[in-house]
Structure 1
Amino acid sequence: MSDPFASRIRSYPSPEPAAARAAQPRRPLSIVAPLHYTPSYAYPLVVWLHHSGHNELQIEQVLPHVSTRNYVGVGVRGNLATDVRGWGFDWAEGKSSIASARQSVMEAIEHAKSEMSIHPDRILIAGYGSGATMACRIALMEPEQFGGVAMLGGEFPSNQSVMREYHRLRERRLPILWQQAINGVDDCPKQLKRGILAAESIRARVEIRQYRGDDVMNAVALRDMDRWCFDNIVQPRPESTAENSTVRPSEGLSPIDFSAN
């Protein structure tokens, strides 16, 4: 697939000098601008957390399938290396690792705001697999920072982490899109049930969509993310329950493959 974006695609390596560290994020990230980027318009921002074995550049392959025009995207690198080449990363779950991921995401948002025109109330944090789990965890820790969460697979964070901000989250009623493959190896009915109960306990506005096949990373799911984001973050509908499960048909569920470059 040819790149549908304008030339403003950048990766930011971690700088060494102390002065540069103050100006640049500590962890590498990638910013993607929409086609025909207009600085006078405040764009929604998609903060993307990749799945295991990939890195911050995954946003460049994902965002065109969501929309070529509607969003600025920023990809954040995971905090755990998975190969000796320094290409693949994942999201470690220890206390210090979660704190590091949280800081990296917040730095990425601030850097995107400094580089591009971003609407502060239209920030979606999204991820795939382990990145989806971490995206939801960070959103539950910083609920006022995000307009919503989109999870492609992954698990809803444990009750313990939910309870930490219990009253704050119940007041916020965070919108969450949880997309799953019906036959996905990571999608366990028992885990799904536990996740739904945890989400209900904090009154999150969860919409669960299931897709036929064994992998939720497909073109239909990513297009659905665009429509859901518009309805819940860009131009929110009146308060709705949105707590339902929709099974998407198999037609058009073309898988998204990621380049190794």
Structure 2
Amino acid sequence: MNRLTSLLSPVPFTSKRKQTANSQQKLVALPRAISRLPQAGAANTQTEIQTFTPLHYEPNYSYPLLVWLHDDGGEARDLQRVMPLISVRNYVGVSIAGESLGARRGSGWSQSAEGIVAAENKLADALELATNKFRIHADRIFLAGNGVGGTLATRLALRNPERFAGALSIGGAFPSGQSPLSMLAAARRLPLFIAHCRDSERYPIERLCEELKLFHTAGMSAAIRQYPCGDEVTTQMLHDMDVWLMERVTGCVCEPTPAPIGEDWN
């Protein structure tokens, strides 16, 4: 099984507006773009964003967009390693960086109210950049991530379940605290993909079992895959993500297949 080592410099992107934790406004869909969250402060922020252009990009085709959120200790540039292992053709990719954890420690995500709002602002910047740079299908925008990034991807999708086509988490627990199911009726229709590492120390099987009970009680459903590994990302996980995503995009069920093994990643 191919394993990826630490998924390191992002491209600076200047954001002119910022939302505060007290603002309750949601992302607003536009015909061919996604709006920035409304201004609630005068300070400027800088967001680090990376984009991935699919092979043989066709400007007249509306592509699905995959937003990638790195794990703690990662960075936006992780996107350039992850996307080729998911698919080099099927999606436009974009990623954002969390808050700096200090020199040589990468970036991370806070699950506090302020941290969630900061992530939403960065996400809005990334969506605006991607939809301005590429032709994106407005109904095929997916959030994904690994570890803490996977938890945050699920959380942000649940806060705007009608805006996103699905959320995918690799080794990241279902979010807790800050009312992740405050929009439960719409959240029931949000497709979820969870890749669980059987030997994980951060996301043990006991917690997954508790989450399954929550899903049942809340009337939610999720595609759950378990892999014989510890806290890591494997090529099989990313391949299975691609299969699940294309099922959502095409409406056709695909047969499970082993991940192709490329020499560059063996």
Same-fold call, TM > 0.5?
A: yes
Task: Give the whole-Å Cα distance in 1 for the aligned partners of 2:181 and 2:92.
Answer: 32
Of 181, 186, 189, 2:205 maps to 189
Structure 1 residue 144 displacement after superposition: 1.1
Which residue of the partner structure matches residue 48 of structure 2? 28
My pick for the range that moved more, 186-195 or 39-48, is 186-195
Task: Give the whole-Å Cα distance in 1 for the aligned partners of 2:215 and 2:127.
Answer: 25
Structure 1 residue 14 displacement after superposition: 3.7
Which residue of the partner structure matches residue 236 of structure 1? 251
Of 138, 163, 179, 2:195 maps to 179
Secondary structure at 1:156 match in 2: coil
Of 49, 54, 64, 2:84 maps to 64
Instruction: Specify which structure has the higher proportion of helix.
Output: 1
Of 47, 61, 85, 2:67 maps to 47
Structure 1 residue 113 displacement after superposition: 0.4
The answer to whether residue 31 in structure 2 is matched with residue 15 in structure 1 is no
Task: Give the whole-Å Cα distance in 2 for the aligned partners of 1:229 and 1:17.
Answer: 33
Corresponding residue pairs, total: 230
Alignment of 1:82-231 (within 5 A): 82-85=101-104, 88-158=106-176, 161-170=179-188, 173-231=189-247
Q: Is the 8 A contact 1:211 1:249 kept in 2?
A: no
My pick for the range that moved more, 42-51 or 178-187, is 178-187
Give structure 1 regions of 4+ aligned residues with deviation exceeding 6 angstroms: 248-252
Task: Give the whole-Å Cα distance in 2 for the aligned partners of 1:250 and 1:211.
Answer: 13
Structure 2: give runs of 5+ residues left out of the alignment: 1-8, 18-35
Q: Is the 8 A contact 1:50 1:128 kept in 2?
A: yes
Assess, with a 3 A threshold, how the Cα gap between structure 1 residues 251 and 211 changes in structure 2: closer, same or farther.
farther
Residue identity opposite 2:251 in structure 1:
P
Secondary structure at 1:155 match in 2: coil
Question: Once the two structures are superposed, what CA deviation does each residue of 1:86-135 show, in whole Å capped at 9, x if it has no partner?
Answer: x6001011111111111211221121000011111111100000000000
Assess, with a 3 A threshold, how the Cα gap between structure 1 residues 29 and 167 changes in structure 2: closer, same or farther.
same
Task: Give the whole-Å Cα distance in 1 for the aligned partners of 2:101 and 2:195.
Answer: 25
Task: Give the whole-Å Cα distance in 2 for the aligned partners of 1:249 and 1:184.
Answer: 22
Assess, with a 3 A threshold, how the Cα gap between structure 1 residues 175 and 63 changes in structure 2: closer, same or farther.
same
- Relative to the length of structure 2, the TM-score reads 0.77
Task: Give the whole-Å Cα distance in 2 for the aligned partners of 1:97 and 1:225.
Answer: 27
The answer to whether residue 57 in structure 2 is matched with residue 37 in structure 1 is yes
Structure 1: give runs of 5+ residues left out of the alignment: 1-9, 239-245
Percent pairwise identity:
33
Q: Is the 8 A contact 2:173 2:208 kept in 1?
A: yes
Identify the structure with bigger relative contact order (alpha carbons < 8 Å, sequence gap 6+). 2
Task: Give the whole-Å Cα distance in 2 for the aligned partners of 1:99 and 1:168.
Answer: 20
Task: Give the whole-Å Cα distance in 1 for the aligned partners of 2:45 and 2:128.
Answer: 9
Query: What is the RMSD computed on CA atoms of the aligned residues?
Result: 3.0
Q: Is the 8 A contact 2:47 2:96 kept in 1?
A: yes
Question: Once the two structures are superposed, what CA deviation does each residue of 1:175-194 show, in whole Å capped at 9, x if it has no partner?
Answer: 11100111122221221122
My pick for the range that moved more, 176-185 or 129-138, is 176-185
